Structure 1
Amino acid sequence: MTSALTPLDQTRLEGLRTAFDEREANHVAMNAVTQVGIDEVAHNYNRSRLLQHRFSVSIDNGTVTSQAHSGRCWLFSSLNVARFVARKALNIDGESTANPMGDFELSQNYAMYYDKLERVNYFLRDVAALVRAGEPVDSQLMRFLMGDVMGDGGQWIMAMNIYKKYGAVPKQYYPETASSQNTSQMNDQLRRLLHQATAHMVANPDGIDEIIDRTLEAGHRILTIHLGTPPTSFDWEWTDKDGVFHRDGRITPQEFWKRYVNAGLEDYVCLVDDPRPEHPKGRKIGIEHLGNVAGGDPTEYLNVPVEVMKDCARRLMSEQGLPVWFGADCHPMMDRKAGQWATDLFEYGRVYGVDFDMDKEQRVRFGDSAQNHAMAFVGVDVADDGRTTNRWRVENSWGGDIANKGYFTMSDDWFSQYVYEVAVPKSMLSEEYRQAFDQEAIMLPAWDPMGALA
């Protein structure tokens, strides 16, 4: 049988070398890139210097947080939105004496502890149902679930599932640990535990319930060893920015959330821009097997034009003064040090002599782009017409040593191409879109790009 693959022979190789040598710009590019790297050579100076850190609407949310060596951006960004609400309710500023350890934050470690514990249970129950139904162990679905288990990423709805069930605590009551700031080893052990549990279920279907029980206990033990024992109650007292001392007595994390944080966040919905035409705008999308809390809200989004997402984000900041959680593909056209995103920030095509011409739909369809990072909008520059957006101010969770003390600037065209999701109050939407949430969701397979976690 003749192979359908044409080998790269010597004649073709010599032709490639000749074509490279004939173009003088290739040698100039090679000399530059081999010395300083592609980003330094391709950096668009004229675009960068004009992308200013000035905004007509700007929200002060204090010192930028740092997720360290973890993938907890979705928790950091949702808690950054929540802490803004809490600071207003408590009448404190960023450097409040409410937290003698520094800037006021809500414990990201606390949220991660319960997310991981819930995910252990969710995974075990989900896989048990598949094993009982006779799902082949080498099916595409099982291979995906085994490979995807116990990562750090998540979604707004998954974060709300945790806060609604477990509440939140100020960071001083449950601070970071070595493993919360670098999750790889802990995740490896949890992943191995769940792989082993799956193998035991397949080998002994009659013992699945007992396997789930002992694995859940082991998962709890591993998490507590790595992250510490989370508080079930704490004495809450603080001094506000006017110097007034407050004592609220002993409260639970759930009481703290309801009293100082919620403010309607639990009623937010997620809007996405899925550019593929087979998924119509105005329809709800769901992802099979994606979730963290068994019995919690399903991970579903309403597919809308990106301009609707922009309009909601702009209005939420300019009219209500609230930050906006969002998810994006953060890597393309990013200057991390300067804190900038723009679609033409790097002119790679000019350096390589290649026309990179895929649109958003093609990038999603062919695996070139998907959501991988969550942040919060905390400002926007709006044109004089009151609606047209020029650029966006972004609160990241990569610490304050980069960008504008950790705050980034995003061009409006970059938003169109690389932002995929925003969380906004359902009440902001048109009646048509609100009613769309009552429809059955178009369910996409677990590995669909719209199921990518931030």
Structure 2
Amino acid sequence: MAKEITNDDIAKFTSDLAKHPGVNIASHAAQENGIFKASQNLQSQIDLTPNFSIEIDTGKPADQKQSGRCWMFSALNTMRHPVQKKYKIKDFELSQNYTNFWDKIEKSNFFLENVIASSNKPLGDRKVAFLFTTPQQDGGQWDMLCGIIEKYGIVPKSVYPETANATNSGALNDTLNTLLRKDGLELRRLVNDGKSKDEVEKRKNEMLNDVFRILAISLGVPPKKFDFEYTDDNGDYHREDGITPKEFFDKYVGMNLEEHVSTINSPTDDKPYHKVFSVEYLGNVEGGRQVRHLNLKIDEMKDLIIKQLKSGEVVWFGSNVSKDSERQLGLLDTNIYRRDELFDVDFSMSKGDQLDSSESMMNHAMVITGVDVVNGKPTKWKIENSWGDKPGFKGYFIMSDAWFDSFVYQAVINKKFLSDDLKKAFDEGSKNPIELLPWDPMGALAFKY
């Protein structure tokens, strides 16, 4: 039987409070400055200086502004860096709005197709409710962007620039989700009323036509062909006429997306290491790339990242940037706030327990561009964010190795750096990946801004 809090309990709590040393000082500091400022640890700033033994110069950070496209910005950053270097184009950017357009229409179709497939389940079913909670959104993962590029290619930002609805996406997402929920309910009724597959498909395409019109008005119509012109850092002018987005990706970016593997670190009992996982209802392009994660031990993931950095290739990664982070200083460190000392309370949890209890999961994607290795061990990591050049070190953040251990969950690794055993584990596991439930933490989307 449940037990209420009694007056005797309150009296005991009050008496215990007075026994804690420094409680009055802690109270004054917390009430005047807030919990985080009152518990902020200066030692983090001392330890996390912007010096690294391995470092890749990547130029000025991009800015996703008021949109949840961090996964898209960071992935495109990994692709633009080689273009900047090879063609000598300082601060060149790929169009995040172009991939955003196609991601949103593909997510809309992905939602409607899953609504049709689950129409035999009641609306109160947890999976159906999961679908309707957020029909589409800004967030995503690496494989989802690969699916877009493999189908639609990519264009320079100068050809298809940002719009107000791309940089501040709240109204567009609200508009699309209202329409998709309405359309989803209609499709369920058509299926349950016994309409033919052709009739349902015809109506779905009419719905997608409306989605396309909303996106075209809000974001612009994506080009099928364009002229690419630029002046390089030496002052030389270049131009190529009539190139398609897929031709542009192949010629100017040239990254083999199939050779880049999503690895995760999920130390939970339900996810054995060296197994491959997918997530139900996680995706965007129907008939396109499936999200696949190879679960690794944290030290295995770090070793692979360092190998990739040493080769001159940056690393896309997913983490929980909301935890133990100081945005303006650009610091990510488990010791930056000492709430345990402020409150005399033990907050420690294992990474697995944090995931299992929803205390933490991935919510932001960034790019690792450097690491400081001391006596063979990483101590801190250089991070390219996508929040412009105001926060941190002109837009770059510094992550302690302890923060990496606790809050990094995903990293994309070039397959050539995997051992033969890990390549085999990924290739074999990808044929029949273990499917996780839609709400599993490894299905969390990167969306923070």
> After TM superposition, is the score higher than 0.5?
yes
Distance (whole Å) between structure 2 residues aligned to residue 284 and residue 13 of structure 1: 50
Q: Identify the residue that residue 158 of structure 2 maps to in structure 1.
A: 172
Distance (whole Å) between structure 2 residues aligned to residue 149 and residue 201 of structure 1: 14
Contact 2:134–2:177, Cα closer than 8 Å, also in 1: no
Q: Identify the residue that residue 408 of structure 2 maps to in structure 1.
A: 419
Q: Identify the residue that residue 269 of structure 1 maps to in structure 2.
A: 261
- Written as runs of structure 1 = structure 2, the 5 A alignment for 1:104-115 is 104-115=92-103
Amino acid at match of 1:322: E
- Written as runs of structure 1 = structure 2, the 5 A alignment for 1:278-317 is 278-317=270-309
- Shift, 1:253, TM fit: 1.3
Q: Identify the residue that residue 132 of structure 2 maps to in structure 1.
A: 146
Contact 1:197–1:211, Cα closer than 8 Å, also in 2: no
3-state SS of the aligned residue for 1:410?
Answer: strand
- Work out whether 1:76 is the aligned partner of 2:49: no
Amino acid at match of 2:211: G
Distance (whole Å) between structure 2 residues aligned to residue 307 and residue 223 of structure 1: 43
- Written as runs of structure 1 = structure 2, the 5 A alignment for 1:218-257 is 218-257=210-249
Contact 1:89–1:261, Cα closer than 8 Å, also in 2: no
Q: Identify the residue that residue 338 of structure 2 maps to in structure 1.
A: 347
- Shift, 1:266, TM fit: 4.0
- Shift, 1:276, TM fit: 0.7
3-state SS of the aligned residue for 2:64?
Answer: coil
Q: Identify the residue that residue 380 of structure 1 maps to in structure 2.
A: 371
Amino acid at match of 1:366: S
- Work out whether 1:332 is the aligned partner of 2:326: no
Q: Identify the residue that residue 10 of structure 1 maps to in structure 2.
A: 7
- Root-mean-square deviation (CA, aligned residues, Å) is 1.4
Distance (whole Å) between structure 2 residues aligned to residue 312 and residue 323 of structure 1: 11
Contact 1:376–1:395, Cα closer than 8 Å, also in 2: yes
- Work out whether 1:392 is the aligned partner of 2:392: no
3-state SS of the aligned residue for 1:295?
Answer: coil
Which residues of structure 1 form unaligned runs of 5+? 95-103
Amino acid at match of 2:97: N
Distance (whole Å) between structure 2 residues aligned to residue 163 and residue 266 of structure 1: 12
- Shift, 1:202, TM fit: 2.3
3-state SS of the aligned residue for 2:158?
Answer: helix
Question: CA offsets per residue over residues 377-396 of structure 1, 9 Å max, x none?
Answer: 011112254xx211100000
Q: Indicate the larger mover: 41-50 or 414-423.
A: 41-50
Amino acid at match of 1:383: V
Amino acid at match of 1:354: V
Question: CA offsets per residue over residues 294-347 of structure 1, 9 Å max, x none?
Answer: 1111011100111111111111111x2111100001111101111111111110
Distance (whole Å) between structure 2 residues aligned to residue 426 and residue 9 of structure 1: 60
- Shift, 1:21, TM fit: 3.7
- Written as runs of structure 1 = structure 2, the 5 A alignment for 1:158-169 is 158-169=144-155
- Shift, 1:22, TM fit: 4.0
**Aligned with 2:398 (options 406, 409, 431):** 409
Distance (whole Å) between structure 2 residues aligned to residue 249 and residue 71 of structure 1: 33
- Shift, 1:18, TM fit: 3.0
Q: Indicate the larger mover: 287-296 or 9-18.
A: 9-18
Contact 2:70–2:364, Cα closer than 8 Å, also in 1: yes
3-state SS of the aligned residue for 1:173?
Answer: coil
- Work out whether 1:192 is the aligned partner of 2:178: yes
Question: CA offsets per residue over residues 270-302 of structure 1, 9 Å max, x none?
Answer: 000111133111100110111000111101110
Q: Identify the residue that residue 119 of structure 1 maps to in structure 2.
A: 107
Taking a change above 3 Å as real, the CA distance of residues 164 and 447 of structure 1, as seen in their structure-2 partners, is same
Distance (whole Å) between structure 2 residues aligned to residue 148 and residue 449 of structure 1: 16
- Shift, 1:244, TM fit: 2.4
- Shift, 1:24, TM fit: 5.0
Distance (whole Å) between structure 2 residues aligned to residue 174 and residue 209 of structure 1: 31
Question: CA offsets per residue over residues 14-67 of structure 1, 9 Å max, x none?
Answer: 332332244352222221111111111111112322211111111111111111
Amino acid at match of 1:233: K
Distance (whole Å) between structure 1 residues aligned to residue 413 and residue 240 of structure 2: 30
Distance (whole Å) between structure 2 residues aligned to residue 297 and residue 203 of structure 1: 30
Matched positions, count: 437
Q: Identify the residue that residue 101 of structure 1 maps to in structure 2.
A: none
Distance (whole Å) between structure 1 residues aligned to residue 15 and residue 168 of structure 2: 48
Contact 2:57–2:369, Cα closer than 8 Å, also in 1: yes
Distance (whole Å) between structure 1 residues aligned to residue 417 and residue 3 of structure 2: 56
3-state SS of the aligned residue for 1:443?
Answer: strand
Distance (whole Å) between structure 2 residues aligned to residue 237 and residue 186 of structure 1: 31
Distance (whole Å) between structure 1 residues aligned to residue 110 and residue 136 of structure 2: 11
Question: CA offsets per residue over residues 340-380 of structure 1, 9 Å max, x none?
Answer: 11111110111111111211010001110101000000111
Which residues of structure 2 form unaligned runs of 5+? none
Contact 2:115–2:188, Cα closer than 8 Å, also in 1: no
Q: Indicate the larger mover: 112-121 or 7-16.
A: 7-16
Distance (whole Å) between structure 2 residues aligned to residue 237 and residue 23 of structure 1: 68
3-state SS of the aligned residue for 2:118?
Answer: helix
3-state SS of the aligned residue for 1:172?
Answer: coil
Taking a change above 3 Å as real, the CA distance of residues 384 and 265 of structure 1, as seen in their structure-2 partners, is farther
- Shift, 1:232, TM fit: 1.6
Amino acid at match of 2:171: Q
Q: Identify the residue that residue 90 of structure 1 maps to in structure 2.
A: 87
Distance (whole Å) between structure 2 residues aligned to residue 47 and residue 87 of structure 1: 33
Q: Identify the residue that residue 59 of structure 2 maps to in structure 1.
A: 62
Amino acid at match of 2:299: E
Amino acid at match of 1:450: M
**Aligned with 2:424 (options 435, 441, 449):** 435
Distance (whole Å) between structure 2 residues aligned to residue 288 and residue 269 of structure 1: 19
